[in-house]
Chain A
Amino acid sequence: MDDIELAVVGAGPAGIEAATAAALAGVNVALIDSSPKPGGQFFHQMPDPFECDDDSPHHAKGRQLLQRLESTGVHLLRDTLAWGIFEGPKPGTWCLTLHGPDVPPRLNVRAVILATGAFDRSIPFPGWDLPGVMTAGAAQRMIKNQRMLPGKRAILTGTGPLQLSAAAHLVDAGVEVVAVCESAPELLRRGIPHLLALLGQWERMREGLSYLRTLAGAGVPYRLGWAVTSARGGDRVSEATMAKLDRSGRPIRKSEIAEAVDTIVVGYGLTPSTELCRLLECELEFNRPRGGFVPRRNERLETPVPGIYAVGDGAGVGGAVMAMIEGRIAGQSAAVQLGRIPERVAVEGISREQAALRREQRFSRMLGDLFSPPAGLYALATPDTVICRCEQVTLAQIREAISYGAQSVSDVKNLVRTGMGNCQGRTCGSIVAHMLAMETGRTMEDVMYFNVRPPVHPLPLGVIEEYNEAAGASDQGRAMP
């Protein structure tokens, strides 16, 4: 593996296509993913001992992509975490530090394509941190990938197609769903002008309509302009309150309905996983329809950090089709950088993708605009609502930090420790930014985002040391007594 030139981090649709495209152009590629099998969330593959007879077109597409990947000879590093990316020993190189079975602890490459995907955005409300409250992604994964029921009686709150999909899966699996609350304001009025564009995406519409049919068939109310506003319980959630929202997204108190549930599924959309971008001190800009802060990129999908590319949902939420197009573009761009193909060949290849890319950009922008959680939802949290779950920091404490003069999320972090726990700010970062912006009148660009430092996931010091347990030693460099 000494001659690997390109590392692709993340083996979802974007990463698979990036690695394949680069390999087909003659680049020596390592594709790194922390799961046991490639595919990401979108083309999730069952773990080996499970056997699944899935003859759906979706599954076939995934299989086709993976077969093509395999045929190119890309080095697939599974169960492997790239916990850091550093300036490499030689100029123009990057050093990735890896943790996984049978992989070297560090890999020096000349280019990196980040394809790290996205995760569910969190919007806090009283009781959101009770066991039994989980994200739409978690609920759907439990049912689809592990064939486990998340609970018996559930309510959903959130927005958009991902919530709809989770709801349909829950109903289909036999969970009693008391309501699905779609929080987007005036959805019908704002959606009708887009109907033509939606009809042009018939396949996706068909999927959405079949989910709605599943809900209707089970008599599940799909409440437009509603949200769960609070939850109660002891060791597990036992009751949720939902309410109609006014135009700004704040609850109309006299519309409140309480329901006994043991599960709340929260689906407010996805937010890009930009940890490695931030670790490389790549500039991010705020893009609400694409899920939050995203890296700046040129038309080759290279970030301002030379040799670092970013693609897929990890660079801005846009769905799997866009992710695959972007992967191919970046794979070819990297091949040009590495001198494997002439620029003109890549330019041709990239321009062939432009029409489809623009279509996907328009579509995801429309979805992002239609299904943005309203700002008023950030007012659901009360002073004792926990905002940073890892460090148990409440809204009251965040407000105290603001009263001291905190201007950015880093100031809040330094004062009250939000983002200093295990999840390293993944869950609370966006929430703290919204709260700070709301309470101080500053913009999201002003309040910014948490810095990220290696390791991107907590790791034992022995791993950082590259300590070889068997040898009872580590490669100590030139240790002096």
Chain B
Amino acid sequence: MSRDSSFDVVVVGGGVIGCSVAYHLSAAGLRTALLERGQVGAGASGANFGMVQTNDVEMNHSIPMVKASYARFDHLEEELGMPFGFRRAAMLRLLFSEEQWKLSEERARILSRNGIPYEFVPPERIREIEPIVDPQGLFGATYSSYQGQLNPFHLLWAYLRRAISMGLSLYTCTEVTGFQIEHGRMRGVDTTRGRFSAGAVVLATAAWTRRLGEMIGQDWSIHTFRASCMATEPVYNTKLNTILTSADHVEMDVTGKEDAELTVLAVTQLPDNRFLIAQANRPGEVLSTMISHAAPKTMAIMAGRYLPSLRTARLLRAWAAPTTFTDDGRPLLGPVKGIDGLILAASYRSGVVHSPLAGQIVTQLVTSGRCDLIDISAFAPERKIGQAETIYMVKSSHSDSDGKAS
């Protein structure tokens, strides 16, 4: 099916950022096309816990953005006219040593000062919050109550459904193969389904952004790693109140020492009583969605260690998706220098929480050429990306002596 089509804006990427951008643009009256190379939510947006996460935020520049975005969740279901299962949730992170607490102390101070609760819980109080956790051997925990949970697919479709009703054209199985740029101006994109002309193109393409940038000589330093997750049947004899995580980890070689599946505990129970279990992280700039042979086992090991009663619960599926990080922990958000009409909205640490504001910011950039909602200069795509104090990276503990996971 080959066609030439003309729009005001083309948004590339059918994940949570792309769907939000498509919605906000359509709501602003712009004739918009959303292009997705596979199915809606084929990447990390369809593979996650559905956490609306504020505690993981990059602390130097991103706090105002995450707060403003999170606040929109109070009314977002109403605004989009479709429920997506949003509820407030708390995260409890188990600590085994004072050293592990010290790594979080600064975060606790900065977040709390900025109105995002993040506190230390002594071991004797852990059971008040999560009765199922055995506090023996624990130094304590961190507790962040200003979190949320939702159904990530329903959030995607809440944006999409409203956008389609406002005129959005959705093209799935449509992959960008090239860009039409004339005299430094964006003219459109070429795809496997023909040419889409537009004066503005937004890349909300996460793990695929770097590859697209290489097509036009741009070096966008976005790294990918594969994150894995799994889901059980409904479980009625075990009750979990929080999103339970832990500072320790388990490793298992995948193809050799240099790429171990590094697994941290992350468990949550959904309203229908299923358990979501994560998170195995595998280093490597790979765009595949195939889960490794190690990940289901390492995630099951972690779950079994803290919630042994889950060993008899049946697993229904385990999956993986490429997810991204930048060395400074900040997204690439803003207009691309030197190409009029090209905007990036890629590599958010937590796409779900940032999605409402990302849509607003990009819409403002497209319609007026500037953003006055928050200061986005720290996210400029052309910036020199240095290392931040807290790096979200996946490294095998073989490769350095203090392998850190975030």
Contact = CB atoms under 8 A, between A and B. Distances in A.
A/B: CB atoms within 8 Å of each other: yes
Given A90-B255, A95-B293, A455-B315, 11 more contacts: A86-B292, A404-B160, A405-B160, A422-B233, A455-B296, A461-B300, A461-B314, A465-B304, A477-B252, A478-B251, A480-B251
Contacts of A461: 232, 277, 300, 303-304, 310-315
A441 to B, nearest CB: 13
B6 interface: no
Nearest to B250: A479
B249 A480 contact: yes
Contacts of A422: 233, 316
A97 B293 contact: yes
B318 A454 contact: yes
A442 B364 CA distance: 36
A89 interface: yes
Contacts of B298: 477
Interface in A454-480: 454-455, 458-462, 464-467, 474, 476-480
Contacts of A465: 297, 300-301, 303-304, 311
Contacts of A60: none
A25 interface: no
Contacts of A474: 297, 301, 304
B252 A478 contact: yes
A424 B39 CA distance: 19
A300 interface: no
B70 interface: no
A440 to B, nearest CB: 12
Contacts of B40: 410-411, 414
B179 interface: no
B253 interface: yes
Interface residues of A, number: 45
Given A414-B157, A478-B252, A466 B293 contact: no
B170 interface: yes
B251 A458 contact: no
B317 interface: yes
Contact of A458 (B172, B303, B311, B315): B315
**Interface hub of A87, A465, A476, A481 (most chain B Cβ within 10 A):** A465
A454 B300 CA distance: 13
A454 B248 contact: no
Nearest to A448: B39
Contact of B314 (A404, A446, A460, A476): A460
A458 B160 contact: no
B306 interface: no
Interface string B218-247: 000000000000001100000000000000
* Chain B contact surface mostly: mixed
B313 A460 contact: yes
15 contacts: A87-B293, A89-B254, A410-B40, A421-B316, A453-B291, A454-B318, A458-B315, A458-B316, A461-B303, A461-B314, A464-B315, A467-B304, A476-B301, A480-B250, A480-B251
Interface in B273-313: 277, 289-294, 296-298, 300-301, 303-304, 310-313
Given A89-B254, A481-B248, A454 B233 contact: no
B154 interface: yes
A420 B248 contact: no
B233 A415 contact: no
**Interface hub of B161, B172, B256, B293 (most chain A Cβ within 10 A):** B293
A381 B317 CA distance: 29
A281 B291 CA distance: 11
A86 B256 CA distance: 15
A339 interface: no
A126 interface: no
A477 B250 contact: yes
B161 to A, nearest CB: 4
A342 interface: no
A455 to B, nearest CB: 6
B180 interface: no
Size bracket of the B interface: 35 or more
A464 B316 contact: no
A254 B291 CA distance: 54
Interface in A386-411: 404-408, 410-411
B46 interface: yes
Contact of A467 (B41, B156, B311): B311
Nearest to A410: B39
A44 interface: no
Contacts of B294: 477
Nearest to B158: A404
Nearest to A465: B300
Given A84-B296, A90-B255, A465-B300, A460 B311 contact: yes
A460 B315 contact: yes
Nearest to A403: B161
B123 to A, nearest CB: 16
B120 interface: no
Contacts of B41: 414
B145 interface: no
Contacts of A91: 255
Contact of A404 (B46, B161, B248, B397): B161
B146 interface: no
Contact of A411 (B39, B254, B256, B297): B39
Contacts of B303: 461, 465
A376 interface: no
A420 B316 contact: yes
Contacts of A236: none
A453 B254 contact: no
Interface in B108-158: 153-154, 156-157
Nearest to B296: A464
B312 A87 contact: no
B392 interface: no
B380 to A, nearest CB: 34
A383 interface: no
Interface string A100-119: 00000010000000000000
A219 interface: no
A87 B261 CA distance: 14
A88 interface: yes
B7 interface: no
Contacts of A89: 253-256, 293
B76 interface: no
B297 A408 contact: no
A314 to B, nearest CB: 20
B248 A106 contact: no
A300 B304 CA distance: 44
A414 B304 contact: no
Given A106-B293, A414-B46, A408 B316 contact: no
Contacts of B255: 87, 89-91
Contact of A477 (B253, B292, B315, B319): B253
Contacts of A477: 250-253, 260, 294, 297-298, 301
Nearest to A90: B255
A460 B312 CA distance: 5
Contacts of B248: 480-481
Contacts of B251: 477-480
A262 B338 CA distance: 74
Given A405-B164, A462-B311, A414 B172 contact: no
Interface string A36-64: 00000000000000000000000000000
Contacts of A454: 291, 296, 317-318
A458 B318 CA distance: 11
A458 B232 CA distance: 8
B154 A459 contact: no
A461 B305 CA distance: 12
**Interface hub of B40, B41, B82 (most chain A Cβ within 10 A):** B40
B235 to A, nearest CB: 10
Contacts of B316: 420-422, 424, 455, 458
